[in-house]
Structure 1
């Protein structure tokens, strides 16, 4: 991976304010953006933010006075290069998660679009590229240790396209940046990101959303808590605000370039989720849950099922990360535990 770029020599004139950073952000209106953009807004080291998104939005309506909106698609290299002009740092957050747009479109956005981003960042002379990767890049393999560190290899998952593309992209982006001595690459690997602005649900097919709303209404009317199976699989979570602070530290170059695991303290299990939903958990041993998930993931995927169900593979092996590197080198500490992140999502008020 590219070595850190040295700041240009020279002295700023007396009484003259040093120019702050210009930061370009793809996908600024999602969950990660909700954690990062308020911090960039309040950071005196940042003068200007350019938000690149396909759908129009009004930054001022969100209180983002530093941001300028640029309509753009990561599949269009020329648009990206124009939008990134003058950027010191590019933060790449745009990514399709569930695959409901079709695999061809999803790959064009996630893989080809990400390569367009790094190349456009290099073309405009950006110093840092900050990419939101995922714990899923490690894959869901039986030999994954508990307490994954950043030197553990990233390996494609057997089935889940999201994890496959995250692992592939880390390799491809690393290869690109290795050939660019003036561009540093920061990779963040969070687990499931939760918080009041968590948007993953809106990407589910409409029938599943309707079913979820109907089930929630039914649960509210039941006189007793409904019993449900609750796998004893530990899951790491992280709050959107803690992800935002980690991204901010990468933006300002608080630590050396490289990959960083981030996660909230503690873990949750299926029993915790059930209780927070007002259900009665029926414990399912972790070993049983892993075997069931591995078995389902090994079956051919029926064409009529939505690709979001490929996420069952994630239950085949817990992916529990060690976050020491981010704490020691970035100076990052989570302020919200895994359980608190879950509660802030389920009960935002």
Structure 2
């Protein structure tokens, strides 16, 4: 098939490009001016543009059969207008271009953050409703974009959304794992668990990319959202300790009492209401980032297995060994964390 991948210069987008090319698809990658792709460049047609430019989207989608939309604003700073224009209006523009260009399938890379309410969510499935309030603008705008995508499903134009959580794996230079390793090596991550055992589902990039390709080929996914994850349920703080040892760091030992932790979050978020800070700099703490480390979030992926045959192909321990080997291959842990410090 002829397919388009947005966000192709990013982490998951790069894995999607590689997986689609390996499957024999003719891949077109939407890249902003100056951006490059990390894998498969010799097998990929490049289209220059971005989600704010309808003309470039029309050119990028012309003649493709499947659109994989993984581009998004994923930072934890920025104005409401910035998040809305990229994540919501950008998705709406891409949907319109894809329909006009003759695409038959539109696979949206969403996030479990779209239904995250700040509390524990154990073994939740797709019946979980959108929350009344969101922890941050990223969650709010990903949910809004997901709704647009699912509502656009129609005869001849099948749309679906996948919700991989905590995507990790090789070639990640800016995501949560290199940031985590950087904090561990600098001794800047205390134990925030408050003594609770916190469980989480994660999703290796290979598993997430495979899920996208499987969903694009299914006749059962129209207008639906799906959780996809690795097979393991992780004990978050035990996994953090393992990652620390794997990357030559010391596991967290200093504990922050929950009352102090929550007070610090409140103080930081109050200061970050100042537009200059909110729009330009990431906060050291937020309700969202703390919730990821202190609230359980695990997902039932049986709907993805039922409707498009999703089964994880990379297990966690194999993935961790491969990640360390990749980091060594690019120059070691310092290079792995260079952009995340």
Residue pair 1:297, 1:313 contacting (<8 A) in 2 also? no
The root-mean-square deviation of aligned C-alpha atoms, in Å, is 3.4
Post-superposition shift, 1:136?
A: 0.8
- Aligned twin of 2:336: none
Does 1:94 find its partner at 2:71?
Answer: yes
Deviation (angstroms), 1:182: 2.4
Change (3 A) 1:298 1:100: closer
Q: Considering only CA atoms, is the larger Rg found in Structure 1 or Structure 2?
A: 1
Match of 1:325 in 2: 303
Instruction: State which of 169, 179, 185 in structure 2 corresponds to 1:195.
Output: 169
- For the residues of structure 1 that align with 2:262 and 2:133, how far apart are their CA atoms? 12
Q: Could you say which residue in structure 1 is the equivalent of 2:338?
A: none
Matches within 5 A, 1:136-285: 136-142=113-119, 145-155=121-131, 157-175=133-151, 177-178=152-153, 180-201=154-175, 216=185, 228-229=190-191, 231=193, 232-253=197-218, 255-257=220-222, 258-266=224-232, 267-278=234-245, 279-282=250-253
Match in the other structure for 2:15: 35
In structure 1, the partner of 2:334 is none
- Give the distance between the partners of 2:127 and 2:254, measured in 1 at CA: 34
Which one of 301, 310, 324 corresponds to residue 270 of structure 2? 301
Q: What is the Cα deviation at residue 186 of structure 1? A: 1.6
- 2:191 is paired with a residue whose SS is strand
Cα distance in 2 for partners of 1:167, 1:227 equals 29
Gaps of 5+ in 2: 329-341
> Contact between 2:73 and 2:86, CA under 8 Å: does it hold in 1?
yes
Q: Which moved more, 1:33-42 or 1:78-87?
A: 33-42
Q: What's the CA shift for 1:56?
A: 3.5
Q: Secondary structure at the match of 1:200?
A: coil
CA deviations 1:209-252 (Å, max 9, x no partner) are: 7x975973x67xxxxxx995262311221111111111111233
Question: Which residue of the partner structure matches residue 312 of structure 1?
Answer: 290
Any gaps of 5 or more consecutive residues in structure 1? 1-20, 220-225
Name the CA shift for 1:53/1:22 in 2 (closer, same or farther; >3 Å): same
TM-score of the superposition, structure 1-length normalised? 0.76
